[in-house]
Every structure is written in structure tokens, then in C-alpha cells.
Structure 1
Amino acid sequence: MKRPRRAVPRPPRPVTIRARILVGVLVLLAAGLIGNSIASALTLRAYLEHRAENALRDAGDRIHETLAQGPRTVRSGQIAALVAPVLGITVIGPDGEVAEQAGDGVPDEINDLTAGRLDQVVTVEDHPTVPDLIVRRIPTTGLTVITPTGVVQASAVILTVRTDVDRVTVTDFISRQSASVAVTLVAASVTALLILEFGLRPLKRMADAAGAIASGARQERLPTYGRRSETDRLAVAVNDAFDVQTRAEDNIRSFAADASHELRTPLSTISGWLDLYHQGGLTDPADLDRALERVDGEVGRMRLLVEELSLLARLDAGRPLESDHVDLRRLAADVVEDARVVAPDRTVRLHAPALVQVTGDGPRLQQILNNLIGNAIQHNPAGTTIDVSLHEAHGTAVVRVSDDGPGIAPQDLRRVFDRFWRAEASRSGARGGSGLGLSIVQAVVHAHHGTVEVTSPPGGGTTVTVALPLPSPQDRPPVPDGTL
């Protein structure tokens, strides 16, 4: 027996922005139109009811005023002129029976419905033989009515205003309003669709461009129209994000290529010496010692490169550094002293007249000084003077390393912080260095919330300026005795 196949539920259809906006606009418009129609219908109904009641009261007041002046004798045809614009008048004789009717007559049952309710406005609704109306029974002592059948001493006059006509008017008004609302909603839907089709066209083009970028067109960008509209601002922001992503991808590719290149050279050297050994070309102990020395040197280069890459990775990941009180003047003095020993053919001078203390990672700050002074020594000829100055300015500790060497070409200044980049045309590394020195300096300085800048005027010489924030006065350690 085969099991019944389960129906695979269809994925919900996506709700577009156009549909959401259209539904929202139509709901708001319908709510406004319907609310306005209901308010108008209620206002019209209340107006008609108040108008009828006011007509009854005004007519009754005129009758009272007329009879207050003395007995009156009128013909039946004149009563309508006396109480106009009331629609119906019923004259009640002295025996309490209907004697005469004028205007819009009503059934005789109105006499019984209003008996005993003098000068009261009575509303009659849903009566089986009497139409919907409002009535007022007015006592008329002293009023004589001449009718075609004789003379009647009227005991009361019943004034009536039919309200069923007003209700028909309100019903007709509601039906007309409903038709108007329907027509308006249809016209608004068509108009809104046209407006949305035109207004959302930039978003559709942006979506197409984004789809092209996702498909691999890395140079494609979202269109802009220079109108400073919301869509233009969105397109510019997304384009900037794509540009950043593209640069990041290019940097990753370049980084991978540069790292593999830097590792390939020592690996090739090590592999060459090992092949020579396996082929029996290093039988002489002196040659074997020289080979091991070269292999050890290349291993040291690789170890240094891996350590530098590891440090950059930690700094890029935002891992916190040590935070201790660091005496920059002592660090600078140690580094300058080491540089004088390593490069006796260079003049390295320290200018640090006062104690400068910051909060940070001591070994990393010392690495900054080592890299800056090491670069100045490595990339300048013998006899170059290197000046290291240290002072405080505007809440920052300023470290400046300058030299009077040939300087850096203007087109190269913007790339000095790029990883694995060196100003030499050759990438063989014959002059030493992996091209990560200034990159590490920049990363460490930024990790300490500082800034670094390299300047090289056309006349020669290079200056690297590092600014590190000083701790607040209450966070500074006490100055040792005898220290300026």
C-alpha cells in the first residue's frame, strides 16, 4: 500500500515594498474617506432632526403669541400660513375628535398618540399605521376655525413634521458617499500604482545593480542621479560599502601574495641547501657549517616574519594590549644606545629634556622606537644624522624620529604604511626588512589610540611623528625623586 504523498507547502510569496506602500496608502485613504462619510451622514441626520424640532417649536410659539392677543377666527385654509413651514396641521374639535386637517395630513391615530401630552415634542417611529414623524399638540383656547362643514371651536392643534423623508435623504446621501468612496479608492489605486512605478524605479535599478555585483561584476555600482534624494544617499552608502569590500578583498589578495613571496625566498634557500646536502655536495665540514648557518639565518627570517604577521593579526582583531605606566624617555634612551652600537657610522641623537610618561604596553612601544630608528638606519647611507625627540604637547606625548637622508618620493609617501611594501624597486630583500615595520608601527599606535604621520619635504630628509595620549593627572604615577 502506497503512502499518500505529503503536500509540499509552497513558500510564501514575497511582499514587495510597492505592495506594502500601496496597501498602506489605500488603508489610510479608505479610513479617512469612510470616517469623513460617517461623520457627514451623522451631521446631516442631526441637522435634519434639529431643523424639524425647531420648526415645531417656532410654529407652536407663533400660535401661542397669536392667541395671547385675543380670540381669533380663521378659515381652515389660513391655518397653514399661520404655522408654516410645518408640513401637517390637524385641528381637534371641542369633543376631542379630528375636525379638520391642512397641509400634509396624517392618520387620525395621531390624535390618540398625543392626547394628554400638550406642548411636548413627541417622536413617533416604527408605528404600524403612522409614518415616522415628530408632533406637537398645542392647546388653542379661543381659536375658531371655519371649515367647509361648519364652524369649529378648536380645543387643540396638532403640528406634524414627517421624518421618514429625512431618513430617505440620509440614506441616499450614504449611498452616494459609498459610491464616491469606491470610485475615489479605485482612482487612487491606479494613481498610486503609477506613482510607485515611477518613484521606485531607482530602487529597481539599484536591486539590478546589486544583483550584478553579487553575480561577480565587481566593478558594477548602484546608479545615482545627483538629486540628493534618499535613494541617492542609499546608493552612495552602498557603493562606499562595496568599495570598502573591494579594497579589503584586494588587500587580502595582495597580503596573501606578498606573504607567500616573503616566505618563498627563505624556503627556496633552505630547500636549495638541503638538496645540495642530499646530493652529497656538502662533504666538507666547513661547507656544511656554512650551509647550516645560512639555513639558520633563513629560519630566523621566517620566524621574525611569522611573529610580525601574528602581531598584526592580534592588533587587527582588536585584542587588548597591556596597560602599564611607561617611561618613554627611558625606552628612547635604551633604543638610541643600542642603535649607536649597531650602526656606529650613523649619528643618532636623543632630545628628551623632560620626563614623559604614558599608559600602554611597554614592549610594543619599544618596538615602535626600534622600527622607526631601525628604518632610519637601514634606508639611509652612512654618515646620516638621526634625531629622536620627545616632548609633551596639547595632552599628547610626541615622539619624532627625523633624518637628513635622501627622503621619500612624493608618490611613495601614501604607501609607506602598506604591508609588505618597500620603496626599493627590487623585492629581493637584499637591503633587509619584510616591509612590515611601519605597518606594525601604525597598528600599535592606533591600538594606543594615537596617530602617526610621515613627512618628507622635497629637499630631502624624512620625519615620522607619533602622538600618544597622555594619562589624566590623577592617573599619572609619582615622579621619582631627582627627576626633572
Structure 2
Amino acid sequence: MTTLSGVSRKTQRNLLDPSTWHLRTRLVLVAMALLVAICGAVGIVSYASMDAVFNRQLDKQLEQASNRAIEFGRPPSSFPSGRPDPLEARGQGAGTLSARIDGAIVRGGGLIDAAGNRAPLSAQDEQVLLALPLDNRPVDRSLSNGDYRLVAVKTPYGDVIVTGLPLADKQTSEASLVWTMVFVSVGGLVLIGLAGTVIIRRTMRPLEQLSEVATKVSRLPLDAGEVALAVRVPPSASHPGTEVGSVGYALNQMLNNVARALEARQESETKVRQFVADASHELRTPLTAIRGYTEMLRMTESFTDDGWKSLARVQSQSERMTTLVEDLLLLARLDEGQPLKVGDVDLTQLVIETVSDEKVMAPDHVWQLRLPEEPITVRGDGTQLHQVLANLLSNARKHTDPGTTVVTGVMLSADGSAVVTVTDNGPGIPADFQGRIFSRFARADAARSGSEGTSGLGLSIVESIVGAHGGSVEVTSKPGRTEFALRLPLVSSERV
């Protein structure tokens, strides 16, 4: 649960980080954000403009209604208190509010309902009317019957005539305008989102093609062997006339240059391998002759003590050079991909025999076995697999001190492959050397003790033979424990 929660939080952080989004997603969101801003600005301006137009129209109607109320409510000179009710003025429409204020008293206040009848004002409404400013300027107030636009005009007769018109029609029109703009804007956003996604996806398709080509090239094994670099950006995405096309064209040019360089490298490697194979083959004859003549001299001639030492030195160096030549010739054959002599190989028995040979050569080491109860059989070349084990055991013997424990084990892994391990408790291999330990002629004599010289080809031969069998080899090392692990398929395809 902790792992899933951690992954969920990481995913959420990635979703909240715009730098991790796809470019097309950001472009669509930017386009929609701009559209939202434009729609918002248009909506605000339109709403403000329509509100100003409605207010002007309403103020004009309010001014006319106020004038009619004032004119109708003009008192007779003999009896001012008997002035007629301004609500009775002709031409006042439904919803019109009129009231006369004498001092702090509202007289004759009311409004015309939808049926044309008079409706009284509440006490709360009268308090709102009494609080109106006497500057002849229309103001909006909320009454018990809804929102009204009111104006209070002081007449020459000392009283105040209040006239009002309802804001319901204005508010309904403005609400209709707002909802219309909202629906239009949302519809526009949806259309822009869909159309923008399609258009931007098509526009970004050349970039995706460039990415696909670069990804395919990044997965090709370019470090060794013959490489067919046939991946190219399609012509539709490599026109120099456009920005993306220029990038595609430049990428194709780069790939052409890399392909030529790989071909030159492969040709050079082929020549070197052929030279090594030819030289190794040619050197076998004189080395055999040297060893033969050395043996003949040992059997037919008499030498001083120094002469015998020199002759022994010649013989040992010729044998060492013969081993080196045989190793080089084997690597050349493996590089050429020569077929293996495939058969059933009992790894358990092979390990027992190889360890027994090493035990005779190095009795000062402790040799141990960890074997399964049942034999493990693989398909492969028995001779070459024997050389792999011999090289690993010889490597452990040569680079560790007397008394070192070397454990050789055979087991089945969870993926169904056979695993052979060679582990010692020697001083270990430096971390900076482990990355190139399987390279040819790689040696780190200072890393692990030992007096025997090596050519630096043993582990390279191990990797090449195991690779030819469809397996892998890896090393893990630290002071006090070094382990080489071979993985071989139980059934390997026969090479033809």
C-alpha cells in the first residue's frame, strides 16, 4: 500500500507540473485559456454595455413617469392638503410605484399591480422611500415586491414625489444575455478543444515521427557488430522549408553520417579480426616448431645449469605464447559467428570435473561445491563450456592468495535458466575496473594479489562463449566476496 500511495503521489505531482505535459496538451490548454479570457472580456464589456443601455431606457421611462406624477399631483391653491394621488396619473403602467412624502410621512404611496389595481406599500418599503436621496438621481433599491429603480423629486410645493419602475424586465434580459454568452462560450470552448486537439495533433505528427525515429535509433545495438541503420525520418516530415522539416532533414543527414561511420567501423573491425585470425593461424606453426626443437634439445643435448634454466624459460614462454595465440584464434572464430558443436551438456558433471582439475593445480586453495540433487542439462558446446569454467576458476586461483575459499555452484533460476556461480572470498575487484573487466586485454593486477601473469583475454573469452550460447555473464564484487554468475538457457537454439 505504501508503494502504491507513493506512486499515486508521484503521478499527482507530475500532473500538476506543466513541464511534464505533452506539448499538444499545453497548446490546447493555452488556446482554451486565451478563448476563456477573450470570452470573459467580451462578456464583461457586453454586459456593461447592455446594462448601461437598459439603465438609460429605464431612466428615460422613469423621468416621464415622474413628470406625469408631479404634474397630476399639482395642488389647488385653496386646499393644498387635498392634492390628488400621483398614482392616479394617466399613462402609468403596471408595476409603477408612486408616493408623496410630506415631511417624514408617506402619503398616498402604492404601486400598480399586473391587473391594474392599486397595491399598498409595506412599512419597510416606506422606510426605504424615506431614506432616498433628494438629488433627482435614479437609484436601485430592493423592496418587498422586488428590485426597483427609484427617483425622489422635491416639488415647488414643499413635498417630495417618489416614482419607481421595476427592474424585473431588465434583470430578466440581462440574465438571458449572461446565460446565452455562457452557453455560447462553453460550446465554443468544446469546439475549440476538439478542433484544436485534432489540428494540433496533425501539426505535431511530424515531431512524433522524429521522436519515433530517435527512439528506434536509441534502441539499436550500435556498440559492436554489423549494424544496419535503415531508420529514417519519412519525406513528409523532412522538408527543409519548414521548421520541423528542417529538423527532420538534419536528423536524416546525421543518421546518414552515422551509418557511414558504422560501416567504416565494421569494415575496420572485420579487417582487424581477419588479421588476428590469420596471424594467429600462421603463428601456430613456428610456435609448434619452437616447442618441438626445445623438447629435442632437452632430450639430445647437455647444458650447464644456466643453460637448462634458459631452455626451460624458452619452453615456458613458447607455451604461454601458444596459449595466447589459441585464445586469439578462438575469439576471432567467435566473432565470425562460427557454428557451435551443440549437444547435451551435464553442467553438474562438468563443474565437478573442472573443479577437480583446479584442485590438483592449486591445492593451497579451498575448493567447495554446491550442486543440486538432480543433474542440470543444457544444450551447448561441451568443450567451450569447459573452457568457460576453467577460465573462471583459473581467474579465481591466479588473483587470490593461498587459503582463499572458492565455491562453485549450479542451480536453476526462477526464469527457468541454469545458473553457474564461482564465488571467492578474496580481496575483491575495484569498482572502476568492474565495468571493463570483460574487455579484451583488460587487466588490473593491482586489484587482486597473485603472481601469475595473464593475457587479459580469459574473461573476454568467457563472455563471448556464453553469448554464443544465448546466455549472459555478470560480476558482483566487494572486498571479501567476488562472484561471477553465468546464465545459460536450458534449451538453446542450434546455430547453423
With the length of structure 1 as denominator, give the TM-score of the two structures. 0.42
- For normalisation by structure 2, the TM-score amounts to 0.41
Greater share of helix: 2
